[in-house]
Structure 1
Amino acid sequence: MRFFRYFWSLAPLPGRNCAAWLLLCSLWLLAGRARASHIVGGELELTHTSGTAYVLTLNLYFDNAAASDLITGTITASIFDKATNNRMQDVALPLTSNALVNYSNPLCARSSLSTRKLVYSKEISLPSGTYNGPQGYYAAVEQCCRNASIANIVNPGNAAEAFYLEFPAVTRNGQSFLNSTPRLFPALSEYACLGEPFYFDFGGVDTDGDSLVYDLVTPLNGHATINAPRPTATAAPYVPVTWNPGLSATTPLPGTPTLRIDRRTGRLSARPTNLGLFVFGVRCSEYRRGEKIGEVHRDFQLLVLTCAPNARPAVAILPGTTGPVRYQPGRDTLRLGPAGSRCVRVRFSDPDLNARLTLAVRPVNFAGPLPTFTTASTGTVHAAGQPDTLSSTLCFPECLDSHGEVWQLDVIVSDDGCSLPKRDTVRLAFIAVPPPSGPPTVSTTAPVGRPLVVRVGDIVSLDMQAAAPFNQSVQLNMTGQGFVPADLGATLTPTSPGNPLVARFRWPVDCRVLAGDSVRVFQFTAASDPCGVRQTATVNVVVVVRYTNTAPVLRTAVPLPLPQVAGEPPLVRLPLGATFTLNLIGNDADRDNLTLTAGSENFTLAEAGMRFTARNDAGSASGTFVWDVSCGAANLHRPLDVTFQLLDATCRPLPQRQKVRFEVETPASPTLRLYNIITPNADGQNDDFRLPELPVDFCDKRFDRIQVFSRWGQPVFESSDREFRWTGEGQAGTYYYLATYTDGRRFKGWLEVKP
């Protein structure tokens, strides 16, 4: 806010000396400086962020009517050791925010009262090795000057301000001691009206959960002057302002009562009896475990004006739904029970024109759910087209229970008068009884007193019913003892919601159940929540799962040959061109689905000219194996082992296997004789060289060639015809021959040709 003192400028008159003129000039200059006064108040804050990092903040409240060039971009704060007053550091705080302080009721705004909040803030470091003094530390900012129109201190235009806070060491007993100073609630943006009650909340919050205590103190003046308005703060002590006669820190303004602050809540109240602008100081001290660890000072001022008359509104309570009978505070007690209405009618009015009224409720001696207004709780009276009395309905929660005690509730009506609303309160006494309640019930169509016995493959289907008395809502849940029903495929699906609630339990029993116990306990819980008190009822359904499995039987339609070697499979040996057929039959006493297969590990059936077809069914299976014996099988050059498997489709199958070994018969060859003498003389005896007893050709084991070499290694004869003949005529001497087969076999010898 900004106020002006006006001085008439006087010209020098005859007979007046220069000294008198200089005195008048000095007074004029002082008046000009007074008009420049602009500081309304402020406070410091110190907030811990992380580690050794803190944010130091100055909230400076500034007369918005002052020239903007009076706002500085930085302000210096200083930190001192409380025990020694040694300066620890100076911090240049930059301006980080600039905004108007809003009125609680914007309609009450006065152009002469406009406050701007300037926030100067910076992150600083408080190392534990430096800030460990047992008496703690304090921070201060000194500024000049106060508003010259302040009415309760001496020489206000020359009075400065010292903003002050105290904080503890950041370590105690070798341990980190973290603390943030209290943060006070929004600054005063209101004015007080002469002769009318005034109240405002100056309380704060403490992020560390420390206890806060409030009291009024004398504002600090400090060392700043008009000529040095922003000095770097000096160490404490700081000189306080001087009160006008009859006033003090606890009586900062004339009033009945004077300005007071609630020690626990920080709520300001007064009924001022004088007009003017009054400065005051608030100290907020913080305590941890009963020990004071710091304090914050807020310096502010309150303007008292003459306000237009504002009549008090009125509120009345009418129990029941009809009738003019009013509730009589102090005599009547409202009884709220399950059988009757839990609502009351509220009528409220105001004699002032265009008064806007608002209803609210506040508990007096209980903590619990509050009643609510189910119809409009605000409105305007005595305006064009508006009534002179408004009505609303206040309904108490159905579950509100006063436990036989008389609880009290204030029903408050407030107007929108200036500077602060006027109120009327009716204290309503009541006894609340909640609706009756009881535990729910749960039932099932499962047999009572004995378990369900099922087998894998069965489907369990049951109906479950949950009910709650007095038409309460009810829920039904399913759990398993030691397992999750959904993991086994069990479901619970509501079929008839409401009260009672019916749901269908369905469980297709499959192999998943065998992963745990054979006895499964399903738990069904009915739950109701009457008035926030959970009540339950439970029924267990015990299911015993039986599981047996008989191994299937695999046999052949005709007996297989006996193994030739103990431990080896039966051997089927057939010549080229033959066809072998084997019929297999599978049966299962449990009537499980059967699967009959044939396969080999190191070849495919098709490679060996084999094929297999099967017909699989529940409890039986059949298959036909056919082998067309050909060189394809012989050329594989490995054991032809075929495994026939019969597999039952159940949780723990017992497969049956039959291995059969197949071989292709190799044709017999004559006894090999190797000739080594020929006499090419045409006598019909050993006339040529040939080898008729070589092994016969068989699939890929075939004769490749014959070669004859001289004793010096020179080839003299070669043929790929296994029926070759070499006469050796005219070539008497000794020779060597080599016969080879496609499979790498070799036959060699020597040969003598005689004339």
Structure 2
Amino acid sequence: MRITLLLWLIFVGSGLTGRASHIAGGNIELVALSKPGQFQLSLNLYIDDASRGSDAIIEPSIILSVFRQRDHKLMGDYPIRLGRRLPLVYANPACARSRGLETSEVRYSGVVQFDPAAFDDPAGYYIVWEKCCRNQNVINIVRPQTEGMTYYLAFPPLLRNGQPYRNSSPVFLTPNAEYICIDKPFSLAFRATDADGDQLRYSLVTPYNDNIYKPPGYANSPANPPYRLLGWERGFSASQAITGNPALQISASGVLTVRPNRVGLYAFAVLCEEFRPQADGTLQKIGEVRRDHQILVVDCAAQVPPKPIITALNPADQSPATFCEGNFALLQTESDTNFNYQWRVNGYNLPGETKRILRATEPGEYTVLKSFAQVCTRDSVSEVFVLTLKPSHRATIDAPDTVLCVNRPVRLQANTRADFRYQWSLDGVDIPGATAAFLDAAQPGRYKLKLLSETTGCTALDSVGVTKSRLEKVVVQAITPNSPLCEGNPLTAVVSQPPTRLTYVWQRDGQPLPGLTTATIMNAQPGSYQLTVSDSSCSLTSPPALVIPRPQPVLDSLPPACAGTAGRIPLRATPAGGLFGGPGVTNAAFDPAIAGAGRHRLTYAVTNSAGCRGDTSRYVTVITVPTPNLGQSLTVLAGRSLTLQGPADPGLTYTWEPTTDLTSPTTASLTVRPAQTTVYRLTVSRGGLCPVSTDVRIEVIPNLFVPTAFTPNGDGQNDTWTFTGIGEFPQCSVRVFNRWGEVVFDAAAYQQPWDGRYQGRPVGPGAYQFIVRPGPDLPEQRGTVMVLNQDF
């Protein structure tokens, strides 16, 4: 008997440079993610590690190209990176070692974003990757060492009739690494799954070649012209890719079967098409994916190991056996060190499951493949042991919120039915008495629900985590710590361990305060305040905070005070017991002399029993008026005028009395020409306030007559320069100058009239200048006197 060894490897564009003879197969996947237009784009490659040469390099990334079906327009090149490399397990390790079989799965993957508006063509789109060349040992195609491969996936538009059209491509399951014997019936599960529940159809097709017409600058070729097909050797075709009785074929459920009649390495491809029901009940094709494969058929010994047997330990039933969902079944087979055992479910190897006992957690058709441990021969397979799930119900905890608030527990509600029994636990410990269909969780932790159906005996579990809100305490206080809550002060919320994204609702005296949405009120008015703070799960209201009104003190007004004349002025205010302040204030009295002239602000502050202070103020004006100094007395000649000058200040008011003989009785400076001796009074004030007066006596004396000529000739008539009224001016001084400025006469008291002589000799006739001052405080008189007709 001869044995056929299967190596299927998927040709999907592997990120490899050089020749691809070591690639045994591959396929593309396109899985929709939650965001519209976003996909997980992947390429799975199956590598024959035993035959991989030094020229085959696994690149860190590859590029897949997306084209539009209608006109083959390039929509974009999308690089994806190497994600994992996983060795595949052969069911018969002895044969794998003896044949040099070593296979691994290489997966490239990345998240790509398509614009749905740009991917709305009704004909759809396709993804490709090209590579050259194939393994030269393939016997069913012409010149495999020069023929390449194209990996292909077609998908529908992302928008149909303007609406999002969600779809994921079929996803092939990871195949078993297998070998089979020539002339031996062989089957291999080759199914795909579809996340959208679309109907899948399988068929064998001729693999694509690579495109020799790749446009310059393109990473991969569009299907224009259409992709070339591989050329079959004589006697081979898509329906006879592996000859035998029967030849290679695939069932509607995606299972490959063959009984080969010729050794060698074979290449073939499986097409998986997806169909979606339409509104009229018909099925419409919306996409497809192709997977390339290789199978090696070899001779081997005809010895067959005894057929293994599967029995159930738990439940102790014959096939088919049932078990509860969420539980498991224990299956066992014999144990013999001369043999290898490989467990399978639904035709697929279970990685690592080579022991005598299998812990089965999923329903399905279980088998054990048995082979010799040291000799490569045919293997044997057990009868199918079917495991099905008992009709059961899931345990479901419904919780509107899983955050534990200070002021409320978390209500956990289980799904209910008459035959259900419940047990709740917290952090792995049963809660005594917690056997109802609901639980009010008052502590944080992991809560588990154990639900027992008395009808089926099945137990279902569900759990939920309950966390404690950080919103544990809210207090309203003054923005300055340890300060009283007083009218006009800012209020703020103190939140213990504050979370983010809080909302605030204030109220005063039970009424909401619209528009206040922050943790602080800048100008609090008297009343009882409460603040409700909320996060996404909890709300907590502060205890009432009473804002105390401030005292409203009243400070009595003060009239203007006159500096220098007013004494200390007592200050009065209500309520009593406060403090006065301001310039010149000491011991509840105002001293204008200390404050000085000007407008001064006086304050009064009183603090109530709650520590809230009220303030008020008044302004007082201190007025200063300069004391005028006109002298005690002045003398003026009759008929003459005199200027009187008071203190100059634009803010002063002037009053002169009496007003007779005055030029202006209301100005600081004026001219007076009294007819007789008079006492004048000047009163200075500021707008009538703080008047200050002074008196001055102006004595009017008769006028002094100074002759302008005399004749000192001794005739007894007009011989001297005699002044009329001189007797009233005993201190009259006289000086006479000749034309050269020389003093010819000087008398401090002019009681003896000048006789026209100078140094005892008569002066010459002519004009002489004179200066006469009637008195020390009287104005001087200047003029010319003529000395006439002297004849001595």
TM-score scaled by structure 1?
A: 0.45
